[in-house]
Amino acid sequence: MESVFSNVVRAPEDPILGVTVAYNNDPSPAKLNLGVGAYRTEEGKPLVLDVVRRAEQQLVNDPSRVKEYIPIAGLADFNKLSAKLILGADSPAIQESRVATIQCLSGTGSLRVGAEFLKKHYHQSVIFIPKPTWGNHPKVFNLAGLSVEYYRYYDPSTRGLDFQGLLEDLGAAPSGAIVLLHACAHNPTGVDPTSEQWEQIRQLIRSKSLLPFFDSAYQGFASGSLDTDAHSVRTFVADGGECLIAQSYAKNMGLYGERVGALSIVCKSSDVASKVESQVKLVVRPMYSSPPIHGASIVATILKSSDMYNDWTIELKGMADRIISMRQQLFEALQAKGTPGDWSHIIKQIGMFTFTGLNKEQVAFMTKEFHIYMTSDGRISMAGLSSKTVSHLVEAIHAAVTRVA
């Protein structure tokens, strides 16, 4: 008997997650996975932070804790502390109660809830996103009913920022359009504007009444400093204007599978913020009703305790420093090998990913000949690299650059 679903065609593999599937199926002992967007230790193992284990133990040992539903907006402590983390303890927006914060399902969920809210309550339904950007961004915004346009961001010839193109494209955007900005550690390129460039971007966005929507997936994970990595967001909030911020604790607390994030909407007044929060809750209720309790409790436990918070910042800086050190080691090894080309972009870029500048054919060659896995655009996860595997990667890059056009 024929299925009522027989007309369903098989969906293509997710291009990023598909890299890991291919890696897992490769029996070679020399295989190396540089596609995964998750931190790995020098030994190539996933890391659970010590401070996270301590917070979990504390929660488990508390007999008063129950598994009841939490409110639609999530844990109040978590929301308050998340807004403080991204906006700063002394933020006037927080002091004046102008921020509506909702606990969401990590960064992706925060973006989706924010997009659904904007589609329903904002007068513009076009969002400008950088070219390139994280592969899920256009899907999230399209499915929420927004129309996606691109602004120039990356210049392949310099492997840096196309700042002129960015200014021209945002300058030509319709008044009131939404603009997606990566708060720091742009994914996939690792290329961030300087603070002077951020100031020019802010002035342009405000002069055109564009609405900034920040995706903050790497606070503290890029530079090792929570404040430095929040600079772009705080610059926009300091001018009194409105914006949205999606936060994720996947990378900076290593809580990938716990799906912990927050959506903050900074408004002009506390009255508007309270109305906005009431409407965001109406987006959440028919979508997943209320968020999970465990991950948010871990985050709130850590952020509430000054001892745990300090320990977290040390562990966080340790992760960031390891990635910065891998950039240095890779750059120096390519120089020592005499690999053709200028590889200085590896140490200029920041965060988990490096946009190598390798083309699709070179990537395919490295996978086939050297069992090195990465996305076809040449993005590699620096966190997947270790001192032991740098030489293998350098051999592969050198061969790809010299043998494949």
Instruction: Tell me the CATH number at 158.
Output: 3.40.640.10
Reported as type and span, the H/E element at residue 380 is strand 379-381
Q: Is 130 helix (H, G, I), strand (E, B) or coil?
A: strand
Average pLDDT, the chain: 96
Q: What is the per-residue DSSP string for 270-312? A: HHHHHHHHHHHHHHHTTTTSS--SHHHHHHHHHHH-HHHHHHH
How far is the C-alpha of 353 from the C-alpha of 355, rounded, in Å? 7
Rounded Cα distance between 121 and 40, Å, is 41
CA distance 185 to 190: 5
Q: Is 155 a catalytic residue?
A: no
For residue 31, give its domain range: 15-47+320-403
Question: How far is residue 183's CA from residue 330's CA, in Å, rounded to a whole number?
Answer: 26
**Average pLDDT score over residue span 273-294:** 98
For residues 53 and 40, give the distance between their C-alpha atoms in angstroms, rounded to a whole number.
17
Q: Which of 278, 304, 330 is the last residue of a domain?
A: 304
90 is annotated as an active-site residue: no
Say whether 86 sits in a helix, a strand or coil.
helix
Instruction: Return the DSSP state at 159.
Output: T
Catalytic residue among 169, 229, 251, 343: 251
Asked if 79 and 197 sit in the same domain, the reply is yes
Tell whether 64 is covered by a domain.
no
Shared domain for 274 and 212, answered yes or no, is: yes
Distance from C-alpha of 255 to C-alpha of 207, rounded to nearest angstrom: 38
Mean pLDDT across 374-382: 93
- Which two tokens mark 16? 């990023």
Same domain, 327 and 261: no
Return the percentage of the chain with pLDDT > 70, whole number. 100
Closest CA to 29 of 380, 301, 371: 371
Residue at 361 is within a domain: yes
Q: Do 350 and 256 fall into the same domain?
A: no
Domain-embedded: residue 3? no
Check residue 362 and give its pLDDT. Answer: 96
Where among 304, 329, 345 does a domain terminate?
A: 304
CA distance 352 to 116: 29
- In this structure, are 75 and 200 located in the same domain? yes
218 within 8 A of 107, measured Cβ to Cβ: no
Let me know how long the chain is.
405
CA distance linking residue 209 with residue 176, whole number of Å = 5
pTM, rounded to two decimals: 0.95
Phi first, then psi: what are they for 149, rounded to 5°? -120, 165
Which token pair is 118? 């904007």
* 3 state SS of 15: coil
Dump strand ranges (E) for 76-159. 99-105, 126-131, 147-152, 154-155
Name the band, by pLDDT with cuts 50, 70 and 90, for residue 13: confident
pLDDT confidence of residue 18: 84
Confidence of residue 108 (pLDDT cuts 50, 70, 90): very high
Please check whether residue 56 lies inside any domain of the structure.
no
Active-site residue 251, yes or no? yes
Indicate whether 253 and 330 sit together in one domain: no
Number of domains in the chain: 2
- pLDDT given for residue 202 in this prediction: 98
Residues 192 and 256 in one domain: yes
Does a structural domain hold residue 185?
yes
Answer whether residue 149 is part of any domain.
Answer: yes
Residue 302: pLDDT band (50, 70, 90) is: very high
Question: Which has the minimum average pLDDT: 34-38, 319-323, 361-365?
Answer: 34-38
- Between CA 325 and CA 332, with CA 331 as vertex, the angle to 5 degrees is 90
154-155 and 353-355 strand pairing: unpaired
Q: Which is the catalytic residue, given 169, 215, 229, 312?
A: 215
224 DSSP 8-state letter = S
Do the Cβ atoms of 331 and 347 come closer than 8 Å? yes
319 closest CA partner among 255, 273, 243, 371: 255
Taking only the tens place, the pLDDT of each residue in 119-152 is 999 999 999 999 999 999 999 999 999 999 999 9
Angle between helices 294-304 and 76-87 (to 10 degrees): 60
Distance CA 314, CA 169 (A): 40
Residues 182 and 281 in one domain: yes
The verdict on residue 359 lying in a domain is: yes
The answer on 265 and 207 residing in a single domain is: yes
The pLDDT tens digits for 218-238 are 999 999 999 999 999 999 999
- 260-266 and 160-161 as β-strands: parallel, antiparallel, unpaired? unpaired
pLDDT for position 405: 76
- Model pLDDT, residue 112: 98
Q: Give the DSSP per-residue string, 192-223.
A: ---HHHHHHHHHHHHHTT-EEEEEES-TTTSS
Same domain, 282 and 170: yes
**CA torsion through residues 233, 352, 321, 396, sign:** negative
Last residue of a domain, which of 252, 279, 304? 304
> What's 338's domain CATH number?
3.90.1150.10
Please report which confidence band the pLDDT of residue 272 belongs to, taking 50, 70 and 90 as the band edges. Answer: very high
Percent of the chain whose pLDDT exceeds 90: 95
Q: Is residue 187 part of a domain?
A: yes
Locus of tokens 């409407």: 279
User: Could you give the CA distance from residue 191 to residue 350 in angstroms, rounded to a whole number?
Assistant: 6
